[in-house]
Amino acid sequence: MNPSCNLFIVGPTGAGKTTIGRRLADHYGLSFVDLDQEIERACGVPVSAVFEIEGETGFRQRESTLLAEYSARRGVVMATGAGAVLDPANRRLLSERGYVLWLQATLEQQLERLAQDRQRPLLAGVDRAERLAAMAQQRTPLYEEVADLAIPGEHETVHAASERSILLIDQHWQRQHAA
């Protein structure tokens, strides 16, 4: 049973927001939206090109616009970009319009999962471990601020992680509504 008409997924790069989000949408019978993919669809170019042309500021404006649009819908599971929580208005919309699931991942998990990924503009040409650690320091308190439920990252298959997430969401929701 879904605790809200919408389920929003936040968390760091490489936490599994898109993959697990798709499975949650299937389980709860909701439509799935990946915010980064919607930005690419709207712009007709990859996120990396948006960053190259408009910089992070332009990307974040597009992200906020689409987050406002999709979070206003009913019946969606939305995987946000890892930095969507940086904007206070985005955090407010996420908190007000849905149930927020925070998928956590350790630095080691992120490095392992992103080892072959060369598409993420904020990780291009930098010390990935240092950059991911800096992003975590800035973003972790913001994820915590908006999260209704945090799902710790574990070394497991996507199927197992999805099943564990569903179980924890349902248990959390039942406890909230039993009181």
Beta strands 6-10 and 99-103 are: parallel
- Three-state DSSP at 87 gives coil
Instruction: Check the annotation: does 17 bind a ligand.
Output: yes
Instruction: Check the annotation: does 14 bind a ligand.
Output: yes
Contact, 71 vs 6, CB < 8 A? yes
Instruction: Check the annotation: does 97 bind a ligand.
Output: no
Contact, 169 vs 3, CB < 8 A? yes
Instruction: Check the annotation: does 13 bind a ligand.
Output: no
Distance CA 67, CA 79 (A): 10
Instruction: Check the annotation: does 73 bind a ligand.
Output: no
148: tokens are 């209704």
Instruction: Check the annotation: does 18 bind a ligand.
Output: yes
Instruction: Check the annotation: does 58 bind a ligand.
Output: no
Query: Which residues fall in the annotated binding site for ATP?
Result: 14-19, 120
Residue positions forming the annotated binding site = 14-19, 36, 60, 120, 139
Known binding-site positions for Mg(2+): 18
